[in-house]
Amino acid sequence: MENSTEVTQFLLLVLTNDPHLQVPLFITFLLIYTITVAGNLGMILLILLDPRLRTPMYYFLGNLSLVDFCSSSVVTPTVMTGLLTGNKVISYNACAAQMFLFATLICSENYLLASMAYDRYAAVCKPLHYTTTMTTNVCVCLVIGCYVISFVDASVHTGDTFSLSFCSSNLIHHFFCDVPPVMAFSCSNKQANELILVYLVSFHSFFAFLVISTSYFFIFVIILRMHSAAGHHKALSTCASHFTAVSIFYGTVIFKYLRPTSSHSMDTDKISSVFYTIVIPMLNPMVYSLWNKEVNNAFLKVKDKIKAK
């Protein structure tokens, strides 16, 4: 990488320079991160401990919780350190590592949500063939495929970004090393690099969203054909948590990337980035635990066992 001799470290733009806001923001993010870690690791632990949760749906949910925990851990501690100490410096290698890990995890979440949508389609639309459709091998292959595609995608993004030269400035106008803000201050001709970024992100987002929207189209068609209220309720409860998680994830992405150029501002972009990097990983386990009787029952069961001891 030719630019390794030009820049050895970068400066991140903290969320605020107001000393009166830094401590309250640090406490807020510490609370969010604590809930995120407890919620996601708790969800994984419940799935491992309760045999009733060893189904395809919870296999995907366990991997989603792992991805949320890791993605939050890649970004949130850096943000909290900057708020508490004022240290905005990140080394060249640490920046590249953070970019690679975050790109891998956000792409993995994208495809895991698509895999979960297909699982819900199989459960609602083809319930009699569900056990033969969503076998253990199929679930494992889907999850491995999510990670492999995301690893390759992140490798391309990171290599594409750090093949550029950074000679005019080392200030990243963002609170972590995301691809667009790092690429933005390069002094190289980056037109081809930006096209690669746009095409890859568009392809992955569109493909996953197509799988999700197609799955839910057939699910809603089946629900409309049901004549019993019990059938409606069961089908809706089966999909409610996942549909909420999908709406939050893609709603934030659409708000961040598909707004008119005239409405973009640095502060608005930072707020939306905080939401999908720090807040969403906290919300997912809450959504799946609040609306899911099986998860609540598993939690109560583990709680009773702890009390009994």
Q: What's the rounded Cα separation, in Å, for the pair 12 and 205? A: 27
Q: What is the pLDDT of residues 151-207, one digit of tens each?
A: 999 999 999 999 888 876 778 888 889 888 888 877 778 888 888 888 898 899 899
Task: Answer whether residue 265 shows pLDDT above 80.
Answer: no
Q: What is the pLDDT of residues 50-106, one digit of tens each?
A: 888 888 989 999 999 999 999 999 999 988 988 888 778 888 899 999 999 999 999
Q: What is the pLDDT of residues 290-307, one digit of tens each?
A: 667 777 777 777 777 766
Q: Which residue has the tokens 């406490």?
A: 27
SS3 260: coil
Q: Say how far residue 179 (Cα) sits from the centre of its chain.
A: 15
User: Are the CB atoms for 215 and 121 separated by under 8 Å?
Assistant: yes
> pLDDT-based confidence at 20, cuts 50/70/90?
confident
Q: Which range, 195-199, 211-215, 242-246, is most confident?
A: 211-215
Q: Which residue has the tokens 């807040």?
A: 279
> pLDDT-based confidence at 234, cuts 50/70/90?
low
Q: What is the pLDDT of residues 110-137, one digit of tens each?
A: 999 999 999 999 988 888 899 999 999 9
Q: What is the mean pLDDT of residues 215-233?
A: 80
pLDDT of residue 5: 46
| Of 82-86, 128-132, 250-254, 282-286, the least confident | 250-254
Indicate left, alpha or beta for 146 from its phi (over 0: left) and psi (-120 to 50: alpha): alpha
Residue 7 backbone dihedrals phi, psi, to 5 degrees: -130, 130
Higher pLDDT, 212 or 257: 212
So where are the chain's domains? 2-308
pLDDT of residue 205: 87
Higher pLDDT, 191 or 266: 191
The architecture CATH gives domain 2-308: Up-down Bundle (1.20)
Q: What's the rounded Cα separation, in Å, for the pair 118 and 38? A: 28
Task: Answer whether residue 1 shows pLDDT above 60.
Answer: no
Q: What is the DSSP letter of 55?
A: S
Task: Answer whether residue 45 shows pLDDT above 80.
Answer: yes
Q: What is the DSSP string of 151-179?
A: HHHHHHHHHHHHTS---S--EESSSS--H
User: Are the CB atoms for 118 and 212 separated by under 8 Å?
Assistant: no
> pLDDT-based confidence at 255, cuts 50/70/90?
low
pTM for this model (two decimals):
0.88
Task: Answer whether residue 2 shows pLDDT above 50.
Answer: no
